[in-house]
Structure 1
Amino acid sequence: MSHVEDAPDGITTERLVLRTPAPGDLRNLFALYADPQVWGPDPLSRHHDTGQTAGMIENWRAAWRRDGAGIWTAWRRGERDADDTFVGIGGCFVRYGVAWNLGFRLLPRFWGRGYAQEINAAAVTTARRLRPDLPLTAYLVEGNDRSRRTVERAGLELVWRGPDAGNPDPSAVRLLYSDRPLSAETVEILVAR
């Protein structure tokens, strides 16, 4: 699943075409980000109107321009490139200038099929090619075991556990994973916001 190729409209993996998000992806992305099943472990990230999603798309596009990489939309490959079946999102972006942040979300019907690992492999390859000096990290809310297993399969290990800054639930716990040890200063930058 680590096979990754550049394609005219994105990157291809064994079963997916990964594309830079575009404004035309709004409908699919809002459906993903509004789905309570997808956001059960992290309800603060759930979208309640398309304006939130449109703003997110613009932020993602800005990350691509700034960092040379970012979050992709993931589309299932058919016999001829994508078959236009939206699977979800994933990729990585530079967070606060100190680390790559790995992220992924799939529509529930695609859970458990290895698509997240496929997206993560492409993201890790891209991040290490562009800025190998930066650690690769991932944030999770404790209890999101599906995502925990996925980032552990990507080679990340738990480096910090503590309060989820900004979460109105005082009992919420945030987990920070990384592909290498992080300085106390880097951890503070990553978890304080």
Structure 2
Amino acid sequence: MSDWRHVRTARLWLDEPVEGDADDLFAIHSDPASWAHFPAGRVTDPAAGPVMVGASRRRFDRDGLAYWSVRDADGGPVVGRGGCAVPDEALAADPTGRGWWNLYYRFDQQFLGRGYATEMGAAAIEAAHEVAPERPVLAYLVEHNHASRRTVDKLGLRLVWRGPDADDPDAEAVRLVYLDREPDEELVAALAGEGMGPAGLVG
């Protein structure tokens, strides 16, 4: 089994976060421009930086994979956060106890348009399939985030659910769920527990 705590792609260094990454991670997640499609998600508490570091390290220990700090130069500043991680609520929601991999990416706004999310996402999906192939890879999006939709399309994920976004204060917001495989009955039940009923699944 590979050690996925440190991964090198063509242009990126993907590493398990360390304490020194906390300020960069907070800066990325507190930037209002980073949350243009979901303003309510913006992080405002500086303590969130160390929390992100600790959460990734705990999940690397537990699951063998979690969200990386992303750099585009060896030893350079953090330009993004992303990867595949098993959310704690996924383990609780899935009656099989299997859970799922949540694909996530968020980058410093000055680095958008370079294809970094796609490059990082491809490595994350490869890692997830090696570490625990029985766990599906999911990506949650809001429908009007066209850039993220293009990214998951390039990564080969397919739309399996479309419906109201219960977590968004915008009553008109629509959530999309993308998946790397056909959803089985257990996953449908778990998604229903997350507020996305089986009737919303598309074939």
In the superposition, the TM-score normalised over structure 2's length comes to 0.83
* Displacement of 1:86: 2.4
1:94 aligned to which of 74, 80, 86 = 86
Q: Is the 8 A contact 1:94 1:100 kept in 2?
A: yes
Relative to its length, the structure with more helix (as a share) is 2
Structure 1 residues 92 and 190, CA gap change in structure 2 (3 angstroms): farther
1:39 aligned onto 2:40 = no
Partner of 2:163: 162
Identity of aligned residues (%): 42
When the two structures are aligned, how many residues end up with a matched partner?
183
Q: Is the 8 A contact 2:38 2:168 kept in 1?
A: no
Q: Any idea what the Cα deviations from partners look like across 1:7-48, whole Å, max 9, x if unmatched? A: 9x7111111111111221111011100111111112222111
Q: Is the 8 A contact 1:47 1:53 kept in 2?
A: no
Q: Is the 8 A contact 2:24 2:77 kept in 1?
A: no
Structure 1 vs Structure 2 CA RMSD: 1.9
* Displacement of 1:83: 4.5
Partner of 1:135: 136
Mapped partners of 1:148, 1:60: distance in 2: 25
Q: Any idea what the Cα deviations from partners look like across 1:87-110, whole Å, max 9, x if unmatched? A: 211100123132111000111121
Mapped partners of 1:157, 1:189: distance in 2: 21
1:16 aligned to which of 12, 20, 27 = 12
1:49-128 matched pairs, under 5 angstroms: 49-77=45-73, 82-95=74-87, 96-97=90-91, 98-128=99-129
Relative to its length, the structure with more strand (as a share) is 1
* Displacement of 1:119: 0.4
* Unaligned segments of structure 2, at least 5 residues: 92-98, 197-203
Instruction: Please say which of residues 52-61 and 64-73 is displaced more in the overlay.
Output: 52-61
Mapped partners of 1:191, 1:125: distance in 2: 28
Runs of 4 or more, structure 1, over 3 Å off, are 189-192
Structure 1 residues 93 and 16, CA gap change in structure 2 (3 angstroms): same
Mapped partners of 1:117, 1:27: distance in 2: 24
In the superposition, the TM-score normalised over structure 1's length comes to 0.87
